[in-house]
Amino acid sequence: MKSRNVTVIGLQWGDEGKGKIVDTLAGTSRYVVRYCGGANAGHTITTGGERFALHLIPCGILHKGVMNVIANGVAFDPEVAVHEIRELQDRGVHIGPDNLSISSTAQVVMPWHKQQDLLSEQQLSAQKIGTTARGIGPCYSDKANRSTAVRVGDLLDEKILTQKIRLTGAIKNRIFAALYEAEPMDIDAIAEQYTRLGRDLGPMVRNTGAMVRDAFDNARRILFEGGQGSMLDIDHGTYPFVTSSSVSACGVPSGAGVPPKAVGQVVGVMKAYTTRVGAGPFPTEQDNDTGEYIRQKGKEFGTTTGRPRRCGWLDVCVVKYTADLSGVDELALMLLDVLSGLDEIKICKAYTYKGKTVKDFDPALMGKVECIYETLPGWSEDISDCKRLEELPDNARNYVRRVSELISRPVGIVSVGPGRDQTITTQTQIEGLV
Ligand code: IMP
C-alpha cells in the first residue's frame, strides 16, 4: 500500500514558510515528527487571527488529536522546551503526554553548548558562521564525541545526570578557561536546574522510534517536519556555512528512527525569492534597493534571532538541486505576494564558473559562480486575496508556470499571505494540502 505519510522540507536556506504547510497538513495527520535541528528553528503560524512562533515544539501542537514527536535527531534544549510549553499553555493550548513525546535518545543542549557557540563565534570574528547561538553545533559535536554527551533519558536519573554534568562541566570549564579565558560555570547549579527540568519533562519522555515505527506499521498518517533548509544541511549544504544536522528528507530515517520508505511524499517548500541568515555564499543576493524592498515587504527578519535576513532573487539552480536531493514530489511556492509591485523579476537559471556554464550543481562552488538570469515582467496588483490561480494577474501566473518548468516539478500550492486561507491550490496530489 502506498504510504500516506508526508515529509515537508525547506529547499533554500530556511525560513521558507514550512510552518504554514505543516500546520495545514497537521489537520489530517496523526503524528507530527521533528527529526532534525533544535531551537535554532523558528516556525511562524497564523491561525484564528493569532500568531504563534514555535522553536522546538512541532507545529501539530495547535491541532487536536495529533501526537507531536521530538525525535532522536533533534538537539533538544529542555530550558527552551519548558519555556515554550508554558507560554503555549498560558495561551490556552493543551500540552501533555497525550500530545507531546520527547525521544529519550535525543541529545540535550547544555548551558556550555550555548556558551561555546557564543565564545567560538566571537573568537572567529570575520570567519564566523553566523549561528543562532542556540548551542546547536557544540551539542552535535558532543553527540559525535559521545563521552561528553547528555541525552534526554539521562535527565530522568538524578544520579547519572549529576555524575555526567560534574564530569563534563569540569572538562568544559577547563577548555573555556584555556581557550577563551572564560569564568567557570557553576556546575552544581546546572545539575540542580537540569534535574528539575527532567522532572518537568519526564512524563513526556519515551522511546519515540518504537512509537513512530508502530504508527507506520499501522498505517497511521505521519508528517515529518523539517527544520531549516536543505542548503543548510550538514552534508549537502554550503559547508561550513551550514547547521549541524541532516535537514533534507535524507535525514528523516535516521533522525526519526524509521525505515526510508516511511518518508512518503515529499513537499519542498520554497520562497518565490531567496533569503539567507548568517554568513556564507549567496549568489543571487541583492544588497541594494531590490533586496531592501523584499526585506520590508516580506518582513524578512529572523523568528529566532530577529536578525535582518539577506534577500535576493530566486535561484532555481539551488532549488532544483535540493529538490532532486530529497526526491521532492511537489513544490509549495510561498510568499508570491511579496513580489507584487516590482517592474521586473529575475530568476537565476544557470551559473558560469571561469567562463564556462556549470553543469552539475556543486555547493562548494557557490561562492565563486556568476549568475545567468532570466528576466520576467512583474505585476503591480495586490494578490493577497486571490483564491484561485485564474485570479492571479497574467504575469504572476506566468512566473509560477516558469518556476515549475525550470525546477521540473509541479507547484502544488501557491501561498499569497500568512493566513491559512491565503493559499491557492493548483494541482496538488497531497491529501490535506488545501
Ligand atoms: P546554527 O544552526 O545556529 O548553528 O546556525 C548555522 C547557520 O544556520 C547560520 O547561518 C544560521 O543563521 C542558520 N540557521 C539555523 N537555523 C535556521 C533557521 O531556522 N532558519 C534560517 N537559518 C537558520
**Surface-to-core class of residue 127, CB atoms within 10 Å of its CB (0-12 exposed, 13-18 middle, 19+ buried):** exposed
pLDDT at 126: 87
pLDDT in tens, 327-365: 999 999 999 999 999 999 999 999 999 999 999 999 999
pLDDT in tens, 74-94: 999 999 999 999 999 999 999
Spell out a b/e string for 282-298, using b for 16 or more CB atoms within 10 Å of the CB, else e. bbbbbeeebbebbbebb
Query: If you take atom 1 of ligand 1, which residue's CA is the nearest one?
Result: 131
Gap from CA of 277 to ligand 1 centroid (Å): 7
> Is the shortest distance between the CB of 274 and ligand 1 below 6 Å?
no
Q: Is 236 one of the catalytic residues?
A: no
Give every CB contact of residue 319 below 8 A, 6+ residues apart in sequence. Answer: 11, 12, 268, 270, 331, 407
**Residue in the structure block whose three cell numbers are 519548558:** 82
**Least-confidence region, from 47-61, 223-237, 241-255, 279-293:** 47-61
Q: What is the percent of the chain with per-residue pLDDT over 90, rounded to a whole number?
A: 90
User: Peptide bond preceding 111: is omega within 30 degrees of 0, i.e. cis?
Assistant: no
Q: Is 43 one of the catalytic residues?
A: yes
Output the CA–CA distances (angstroms, integers) from residue 123 to 21, 130, 172, 173, in the order listed.
38, 12, 17, 17
Cα–Cα distance for residue pair 213/254, rounded to 1 Å: 12
The pLDDT of residue 434 is above 80: no
pLDDT in tens, 270-317: 999 999 998 999 999 999 999 999 999 999 998 777 889 999 999 999
**Residue in the structure block whose three cell numbers are 535541528:** 37
Atom of ligand 1 nearest to the CA of 41: 19
pLDDT at 302: 85
CA angle 405, 411, 413 (to 5 degrees): 160
Gap from CA of 381 to ligand 1 centroid (Å): 34
The pLDDT of residue 49 is above 90: no
Cell of 215: 504508527
Give me the count of residues in the chain. 434
Confidence of residue 43 (pLDDT cuts 50, 70, 90): confident
**Best residue for ligand 1 mutational test, from 44, 120, 277 (most atoms within 8 Å of Cβ):** 277
Output the CA–CA distances (angstroms, integers) from residue 276 to 12, 15, 180, 405, 417, in the order listed.
8, 8, 29, 24, 20
Query: Using an 8 Å Cβ cutoff, are 130 and 241 in contact?
Result: yes
DSSP per-residue letters across 44-58:
EEEETTEEEEESSS-
Q: Which of 105, 95, 35, 99 is nearest to 70 (CA)?
A: 35
Q: What is the DSSP letter of 189?
A: H
Gap from CA of 134 to ligand 1 centroid (Å): 9
Helix spans in 53-105 (H): 78-90
Q: What is the percent of the chain with per-residue pLDDT over 70, rounded to a whole number?
A: 100
pLDDT at 267: 97
Cα–Cα distance for residue pair 257/249, rounded to 1 Å: 13
The helix or strand, by DSSP H or E, that contains position 32, with its residue range, turns out to be strand 31-34
Determine the straight-line distance between the first and last CA of the chain, rounded to whole angstroms: 23
